[in-house]
């Protein structure tokens, strides 16, 4: 992990923390919609459970990011990791869906505290020329959990019951807390704060940079926000697979797809330019997400998911490094909070959309639920594609207006 810059040790520890917390959360992620359905909820209530956690997370990410720029990263990072320990244990004891509300609020608060801290710590601990490399390593740790977690969670649910993965998530969250406690403060004293990557006078205004990168996250979040609550149910209903297969789909389609492109993506970003890398991956990934809804087999669904995430997440290190390089370092926490909040707010806003239309039909009780979920899933994927392309059009325009030189991203690195 040498060559990232100022504090290789913090980047290494953070990569391990990312891997541990990601493994914990992704052990339960593929079965979470099925578990909530197991508790007897409607599709609308399912969307509400997702929305509450994401909404709370979005609100606190902006606040914690701003506070960390003034008071430091470590305490907020540690607080988030500590709060994250309890919810998975309490999920396993839920008797009905209302028992989940308090704990999903706490889970959202935990994410809101530690997510901006982690990405800001990477920026603090790396030099400008090594920042994309640092992000590629921490992203690799994060995505390792996305590969292993769904596989482990699906298998544990099939063998020991649907509540068992939550207990395993609890144990891993305790381990993540211990690792987080070993990461030292990385925020520099105010006298040492400068601007990363460029003279401050040459940078676009902070509000313009924040708006632009938030728009990118909104574009990526809209389709994912619509699909997340119903994708596992869609696959089970259409292809009659078990929870291990659902976990395998997420492990391959998201985890492996995203993991294998991180380090090559960082190198490609250096060759082509980070701006071009970000723009092209947004444009070329969208069709594959839409094609997921036309899958004729389980294998096709995995392939379409794999292609979409491999393309879009190849630019993850470039996106993060570019955002930090265009931001004064004394506002890195706030910028990471705003960027993350834009992602979570848009996912938050789309979950009710994904749940409302199917619930109108299911309440009648006159048709087979699985087929309705299938039909509505396809409808929503078509809608997601149209909205995503509309957002991309606005992004390209804003990139040209807000950040000097971005309009030439396709023709020059």
Q: Could you read off the pLDDT of 239-294 as tens digits, one per residue? A: 888 877 887 888 888 888 988 999 899 888 888 888 888 878 877 887 887 787 77
For the chain, domain boundaries: 8-183+196-407
pLDDT band at 174 (very low <50, low <70, confident <90, very high): very high
Q: pLDDT band at residue 35, thresholds of 50, 70 and 90? A: confident
**Mean pLDDT, residues 361-371:** 36
Percent of the chain at pLDDT exceeding 70: 71
Q: Who contacts 172 (Cβ-Cβ below 8 Å, separation ≥6)?
A: 20, 21, 23, 24, 27
Give, in order, the Cα–Cα distances in Å from 331 to each of 4, 190, 217, 406: 21, 11, 19, 22
Which secondary-structure segment (H or E) carries 64? helix 43-71
CA dist 271 → 60, 104, 234, 243, 274 (Å) = 36, 42, 39, 41, 9
Each residue's pLDDT tens digit, 199-242: 334 445 777 788 878 777 766 655 554 555 567 777 877 888 88
Asked if residue 53 has pLDDT above 70, the reply is yes
CATH number of 8-183+196-407: 1.20.1250.20
**Region for 405 from its dihedrals, namely left if φ exceeds 0, alpha if ψ lies in -120 to 50, beta otherwise:** left
CB burial of residue 163 (10 Å; 0-12, 13-18, 19+): middle
Tell me the pTM. 0.70
Spatial separation of the C-alpha atoms in residues 153 and 30, rounded to whole Å: 8
Q: Left (φ > 0), alpha (ψ -120 to 50) or beta: where does 113 sit?
A: alpha
């Amino acid at each position: 992990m040498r060559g990232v810059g100022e504090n290789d040790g913090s980047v290494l520890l953070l990569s391990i923390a990312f891997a541990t917390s990601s493994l914990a959360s992704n052990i339960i992620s593929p079965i979470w919609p099925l578990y909530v359905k197991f508790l007897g909820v409607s599709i609308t209530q399912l969307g509400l459970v997702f929305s509450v956690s994401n909404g709370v997370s979005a609100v606190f990410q902006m606040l914690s990011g701003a506070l960390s720029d003034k008071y430091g990263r470590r305490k907020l990072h540690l607080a988030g990791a500590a709060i994250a320990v309890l919810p998975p244990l309490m999920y396993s004891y839920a008797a009905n869906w209302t028992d989940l509300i308090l704990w999903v609020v706490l889970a959202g608060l935990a994410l809101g505290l530690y997510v901006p801290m982690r990405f800001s710590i990477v920026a603090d601990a790396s030099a400008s020329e090594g920042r994309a490399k640092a992000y590629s390593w921490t992203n690799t740790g994060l995505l390792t959990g996305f590969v292993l977690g769904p596989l482990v969670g699906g298998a544990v649910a099939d063998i020991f019951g649907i509540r068992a993965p939550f207990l395993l998530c609890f144990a891993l969250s305790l381990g993540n807390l211990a690792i987080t406690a070993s990461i030292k403060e990385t925020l520099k004293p105010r006298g040492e704060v400068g601007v990363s990557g460029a003279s401050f006078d040459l940078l676009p205004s902070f509000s313009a940079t924040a708006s632009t990168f938030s728009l990118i996250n909104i574009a990526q979040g809209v389709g994912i926000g619509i699909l997340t609550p119903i994708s596992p149910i869609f696959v089970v209903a259409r292809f009659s697979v078990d929870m291990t297969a659902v976990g395998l789909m997420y492990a391959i389609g998201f985890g492996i797809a995203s993991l294998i492109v991180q380090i090559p993506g960082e190198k490609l970003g250096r060759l082509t330019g980070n701006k071009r890398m970000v723009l092209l991956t947004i444009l070329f990934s969208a069709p594959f997400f839409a094609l997921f809804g036309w899958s004729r087999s389980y294998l096709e669904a995995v392939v379409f998911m794999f292609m979409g995430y491999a393309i879009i997440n190849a630019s993850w290190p470039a996106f993060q490094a570019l955002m930090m390089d265009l931001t004064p370092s004394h506002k890195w926490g706030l910028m990471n909070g705003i960027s993350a909040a834009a992602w979570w707010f848009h996912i938050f806003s789309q979950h009710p959309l994904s749940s409302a239309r199917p619930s109108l039909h299911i309440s009648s009780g006159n048709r087979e639920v699985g087929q309705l979920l299938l039909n509505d899933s396809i409808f929503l994927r078509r809608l997601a594609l149209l909205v995503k392309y509309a957002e991309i059009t606005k992004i390209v325009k804003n990139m040209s207006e807000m950040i000097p030189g971005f309009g030439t991203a396709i023709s020059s690195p």
